[in-house]
Amino acid sequence: MMLDKQSAERSALRQKMADLAGEHGLSLDEVFGKGGRKGKVAAKYRDPKNSSNTWTGRSRMPRWMAAAIKSGKASRKEDFLI
């Protein structure tokens, strides 16, 4: 019962927003964007020993890079830039 009410309220709000945007000659997509993912992120770093090991620079540093830096084979992550 509560979900039906929330769904109806969302639909009504969406329609109000669409009407308001339409009054100004815009669509909801133009106002809020399409949303969703933008696509893949290009790799920024590569393992010189194995070129299939790449990293975008996001999230946690990969093990192969951390091991190379710790062992002294590289002094910093910029040494692996593509």
Q: Which domain holds residue 72?
A: 45-80
For tokens 């990293």, the residue is: 55
Mean pLDDT of 33-50: 84
Query: Do the domain assignments include residue 17?
Result: yes
pLDDT at 44: 95
Question: Does pLDDT of 53 surpass 90?
Answer: yes
Do 74 and 53 fall into the same domain? yes
Would you say 44 and 57 are in contact if contact means Cβ atoms under 8 Å apart?
yes
**Looking at the structure, do residues 75 and 50 belong to the same domain, yes or no?**
yes
- pTM, two decimals, is 0.52
Q: Residue 10 to residues 3, 34, 78, 79: CA-CA distances in angstroms?
A: 10, 18, 48, 51
> Is 37 a domain residue?
no
Average pLDDT on 61-65 reads 93
For the segment 60-77, the average pLDDT, to the nearest whole number, is 88
* 3-class DSSP assignment, residue 23: helix
The pLDDT value given to residue 52:
92
